[in-house]
């Protein structure tokens, strides 16, 4: 955290980080071994989506509703193919 931030901003950032850590642990707890991966850059950055929780899901849905394979960024191709292979075995 930035030393110049107010105590209020520090608390908000800390609370948000704690919330994300809880979500990540919840996700990890239900994932099959070997099926969880972390993306860098993250999903939002790879797609040019906002990082704001209240907007990103709607915008991702809009972006992918009629998407074809050519619309998917290269950085997401392998993770998507992996996830599809877990859901729909070849």
What are the residue boundaries of the structural domains of the chain, listed by start?
A: 1-30, 34-90
Give the model's confidence band at 69: pLDDT under 50 very low, under 70 low, under 90 confident, else very high. confident
Query: Residues near 40 by Cβ (< 8 Å), separated by ≥ 6?
Result: none
**Cα distance between residue 86 and residue 79, in whole Å:** 11
- Which has the minimum average pLDDT: 35-39, 69-73, 86-90? 86-90
Q: Which residue has the tokens 């290269």?
A: 74
**Sign of the alpha-carbon torsion through 9, 10, 14, 15:** negative
Give the model's confidence band at 10: pLDDT under 50 very low, under 70 low, under 90 confident, else very high. very high
DSSP state of 36: -
75 in Cβ contact with 40 (< 8 Å): no
pLDDT tens-place string over residues 13-63? 999 899 989 998 998 898 877 777 777 888 888 888 887 777 878 888 888
């Amino acid at each position: 955290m930035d030393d110049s931030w107010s105590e209020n901003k520090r608390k908000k950032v800390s609370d948000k980080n704690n919330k994300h850590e809880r979500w990540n642990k919840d996700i990890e707890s239900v994932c099959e071994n070997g099926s969880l991966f972390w993306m860098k850059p993250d999903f939002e950055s790879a797609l040019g989506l906002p990082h704001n929780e209240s907007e990103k899901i709607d915008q991702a849905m809009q972006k992918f509703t009629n998407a074809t394979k050519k619309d998917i960024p290269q950085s997401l191709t392998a993770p998507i193919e992996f996830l599809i292979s877990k859901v729909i075995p070849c």
